[in-house]
Amino acid sequence: MTTPLERWVDEQAKLCKPDKIHWCDGTEEEARRIVEIGIKEEKIGNTPVFQELNKEAWPDTYFHRSHPTDVARTEKLTFICHPDKETAGPNNNWMHPDEAKEKLRKLFDGCMKGRTMYVLPYMMGNPDSPYAKACIQITDISYVAVSMRIMTRMNKTAIKKIGNRDDFVKGLHSVADFDPNKRFIMHFPEEHLVWSIGSGYGGNALLGKKCFSLRIASYLGLKEGWLAEHMVILGIEDPKGNVTYMTAAMPSACGKTNLAMLESALPGYKVWILGDDIAWLNVGPDGRLWAINPETGLFGVAPGTSTKTNPNMLKTLKGKKFYPTLFTNTALNTDSNEPWWEGLDGDIPKNLIDWQGKPWRAGQETKAAHPNSRFTVSIYNAPTLSKEFDNPKGVPISAIILGSRRTKLIPLVVESFDWEHGVFMGVRIGSETTAAAIHKEGVLRRDPMAMLPFCGYNMGDYFRHWLNIGKKLKNPPKIYAVNWFKVDENGKFMWPGFGENIRVLEWIVKRTQNKVGAQDTALGRMPHLKALNMKGACVSAKELKKLFEVNPAEWKAEISDINKFLDQFGSHTPKEIRNQCKKLEDSFKKECAKVH
Ligand code: GTP
Ligand code: SPV
Ligand code: MN
């Protein structure tokens, strides 16, 4: 007797017509064999899928160069296929499921001829966790098969968990011929199903990540009463050894991985990582919010990573616990066969080829590493991995941080008055765009809770869902808006960031422990400047004051932009959110917020 899983795989094979089918068991031995295939047999254009890097400097580490048109998530080609458009909301591209399937069935038909179909069974979350989900992805490229081993718990457990069930999470992926005109990432939330074709890159192709753990899972969360969020999870240990757990939502390429890996600039503090991109949040029986990270890997931005900005990441990349580590679209030092990117320590190597394989000289206008070049590495390699990482219950969350990249306007840190006000702070997140997705860089776009590209249903309903979760929490976390990216008149970052961010986190920890006061302003509660530990920081008193400056004229324009953004959700926008916006407007009318 065949199982629903076997039948499903069989149907996909009939459609895609691969030469071979390989059911992965997720072992290291198997991963080594698949990497060999990527080195010797599989190619993208003329480039082998994998190239081995300098073994002494980078053991078990491989370089991958993507198709030149395939370097980031493609939001324009990403669709949420609910039966009706209203459920998908104005935040998503929508196509009727029947139309989407008809369109893609033609593209999938025979797309794996001459190739191997890899069947990847994987768990999102510890299999012992009540919050974990059993999933299957099909792919036709070694790079994705190996990446999924790093990013998820890929092994036979998922097959056991699925057993005879039909409601497992299904993902069908093919790189096809990488034609950007035939590239689509289609989500069918009702069926827990993703169809992705034409891209081998990150969030487009590793279907456990953004496609399932955010877009589909956010919809499951709406139905089942939990939240799937684009958030870091971290534990902050104070000098007494108490650990405070928090999550932080920040749009793509706005500092999540760096925050999760933070090396404290304040003596006595330690930051433990539990996750750098995705958090699933559940209301526990104790009325607190509990977080698990469904992933097991880090798919992080390489440029800017150095021993100065992120020493723990470099240690993680050199770690040897889990096979293998990958670099995608960095530059290469051809003398030493090592990866290189802008911002890495040391002198610029003499002989470099850029991310497309062309010779590159210092001073050249284009970047050597693609700005969205990334590494894929196991979280188990991190020297700062929290001992709670595998805890099936997750960790209890005392604070939620909401970050964004704003060169003006948003102060260094502000605490919300309460849950509802905090949800509003999340709803109004706007960020200046980066290279993590294909669009013009440096333009402000509103990105509520950093979830705009990842919410699998109408965002107005999502705001309501956040408010409802708050009602179930007896002990809700405190909520904070932060901004590491304010610049001075010369365009220079005013806040040193990275390890220095602990100064803000320390204040947050002390707030959750009721050990420090705050001052009420129109925006929320701000620290008394003296309460921030600035010992040893290169920030003058004048600059620090500027980091908290609030300009009512700028806020007037901001509030009008927020309202315009909310208009598109019509009656789906909860009236509580509109009221919060009105309250903010009124308080600016009454007084100009000042920090003393
Ligand atoms: P995704 O993986 O796309 O979701 O990105 P992310 O949010 O994990 O961002 P990441 O930590 O990789 O940082 C993105 C970029 O922001 C990198 O170039 C970092 O060097 C830079 N960055 C991170 N933290 C800080 C900070 O505190 N200050 C400044 N100035 N830059 C930062
Ligand atoms: C992001 O863009 O938020 C990422 C990279 O984490 S990707 O996995 O490509 O979505
Ligand atoms: Mn991300």
Question: Which residue's CA is minimally distant from atom 2 of ligand 1?
Answer: 300
* pLDDT tops 70 at residue 440: no
Cα–Cα distance for residue pair 133/113, rounded to 1 Å: 31
- Contact (Cβ atoms closer than 8 angstroms) between residue 136 and residue 9: yes
**What percentage of the chain carries pLDDT values higher than 70?**
98
Q: Which atom of ligand 1 is nearest to the CA of 299?
A: 2
Kindly report the CA angle at 397 between 395 and 401, in degrees rounded to 5?
Answer: 130
* pLDDT tops 70 at residue 595: no
Instruction: Assess whether the C-beta atom of 277 lies below 6 angstroms from ligand 2.
Output: yes
Active-site annotation holder among 81, 135, 254, 581? 254
Cα–Cα distance for residue pair 448/505, rounded to 1 Å: 22
For residue 431, the ligand closest to its alpha carbon is: 1
The per-residue pLDDT for 593 is 47
* pLDDT tops 70 at residue 89: yes
Cα–Cα distance for residue pair 115/172, rounded to 1 Å: 15
Average confidence (pLDDT) over 383-409: 97
List phi, psi (to 5°) of 47. -95, 130
Q: Which atom of ligand 1 is nearest to the CA of 498?
A: 27
Average confidence (pLDDT) over 184-191: 98
Kindly report the CA angle at 319 between 318 and 322, in degrees rounded to 5?
Answer: 130
**Ligand 2 centre from 184 Cα, in Å?**
16
Instruction: Assess whether the C-beta atom of 496 lies below 6 angstroms from ligand 1.
Output: no
**What percentage of the chain carries pLDDT values higher than 90?**
95
What are 571-577's contacts with CB under 8 Å, separation 24+?
A: 571/460, 572/89, 572/458, 572/459, 572/460, 572/461, 572/463, 572/464, 573/460, 573/463, 574/460, 574/463, 574/464, 574/467, 576/420, 576/423, 576/424, 576/467, 577/423, 577/424, 577/427, 577/463, 577/467
Q: Which atom of ligand 2 is nearest to the CA of 437?
A: 2
**Ligand 1 centre from 303 Cα, in Å?**
9
The per-residue pLDDT for 437 is 67
**Ligand 1 centre from 73 Cα, in Å?**
17
Average confidence (pLDDT) over 5-33: 98
Is residue 135 part of the annotated active site? The answer reads no
Comparing 378 with 441, the larger pLDDT belongs to: 378
According to DSSP, residue 185 is labeled E
Instruction: Assess whether the C-beta atom of 250 lies below 6 angstroms from ligand 1.
Output: yes
Domains of the chain with bracketed CATH: 4-47+72-225 (3.40.449.10), 228-295+386-554 (3.90.228.20), 299-381 (2.170.8.10)
Please count the other Cβ atoms lying within 10 Å of the Cβ belonging to residue 510: 17
**Ligand 2 centre from 226 Cα, in Å?**
22
For residue 255, the ligand closest to its alpha carbon is: 1
The per-residue pLDDT for 60 is 97
Instruction: Assess whether the C-beta atom of 209 lies below 6 angstroms from ligand 2.
Output: yes
- Contact (Cβ atoms closer than 8 angstroms) between residue 168 and residue 144: no
According to DSSP, residue 58 is labeled S
Cα–Cα distance for residue pair 395/400, rounded to 1 Å: 13
125-144 residue pLDDT tens: 999 999 999 999 999 999 99
- Contact (Cβ atoms closer than 8 angstroms) between residue 104 and residue 186: yes
The per-residue pLDDT for 321 is 85
**Ligand 2 centre from 73 Cα, in Å?**
7
Question: Which residue's CA is minimally distant from atom 4 of ligand 1?
Answer: 252
For residue 229, the ligand closest to its alpha carbon is: 3
Instruction: Assess whether the C-beta atom of 73 lies below 6 angstroms from ligand 2.
Output: yes
12 residue type, one letter: Q
For residue 406, the ligand closest to its alpha carbon is: 1
Instruction: Assess whether the C-beta atom of 484 lies below 6 angstroms from ligand 1.
Output: yes
Instruction: Assess whether the C-beta atom of 215 lies below 6 angstroms from ligand 2.
Output: no
321-374 residue pLDDT tens: 899 999 999 999 999 999 999 999 999 999 999 999 999 999 999 999 999 999
**Ligand 1 centre from 255 Cα, in Å?**
3
Instruction: Assess whether the C-beta atom of 352 lies below 6 angstroms from ligand 1.
Output: no
Sign of the C-alpha dihedral, residues 517, 519, 524, 529? negative
**Ligand 3 centre from 230 Cα, in Å?**
6
Sign of the C-alpha dihedral, residues 93, 178, 65, 355? negative
299-317 residue pLDDT tens: 999 999 999 999 999 999 9
The per-residue pLDDT for 529 is 97
Cα–Cα distance for residue pair 245/260, rounded to 1 Å: 11
Question: Which residue's CA is minimally distant from atom 8 of ligand 2?
Answer: 203
* pLDDT tops 70 at residue 500: yes
Mean pLDDT rounded to a whole number for the chain: 96
pTM above 0.95, yes or no: yes
Phi-psi category of residue 356: left, alpha or beta, with phi > 0 → left and psi -120 to 50 → alpha: alpha
Residue with tokens 């890495």: 344
97 preceded by a cis bond (ω within 30 of 0): no
Q: Which atom of ligand 2 is nearest to the CA of 210?
A: 10
Confidence band of 537 (pLDDT split at 50, 70, 90): very high
Question: Which residue's CA is minimally distant from atom 12 of ligand 1?
Answer: 301
Average confidence (pLDDT) over 386-406: 98
The per-residue pLDDT for 436 is 66
Please count the other Cβ atoms lying within 10 Å of the Cβ belonging to residue 176: 21
Question: Which residue's CA is minimally distant from atom 15 of ligand 1?
Answer: 253
Confidence band of 438 (pLDDT split at 50, 70, 90): low
Instruction: Assess whether the C-beta atom of 401 lies below 6 angstroms from ligand 1.
Output: no
Q: How many residues in the chain?
A: 596
Task: Give the least confident one: 328-337, 429-438, 500-509.
Answer: 429-438
* pLDDT tops 50 at residue 51: yes
Average confidence (pLDDT) over 167-194: 98
Instruction: Assess whether the C-beta atom of 497 lies below 6 angstroms from ligand 1.
Output: yes
Question: Which residue's CA is minimally distant from atom 1 of ligand 2?
Answer: 252
65-83 residue pLDDT tens: 999 999 999 999 999 999 9
For residue 232, the ligand closest to its alpha carbon is: 1
**Ligand 1 centre from 520 Cα, in Å?**
30
Cα–Cα distance for residue pair 543/304, rounded to 1 Å: 24
The per-residue pLDDT for 443 is 85
Instruction: Assess whether the C-beta atom of 565 lies below 6 angstroms from ligand 2.
Output: no
Cα–Cα distance for residue pair 334/186, rounded to 1 Å: 39
Return the structure tokens found at 383: 């020297």
Instruction: Assess whether the C-beta atom of 482 lies below 6 angstroms from ligand 1.
Output: no
223-282 residue pLDDT tens: 999 999 999 999 999 999 999 999 999 999 899 999 999 999 999 999 999 999 999 999
**Test site for ligand 2: of 209, 372, 375, 452, most ligand atoms within 8 A of the Cβ:** 209
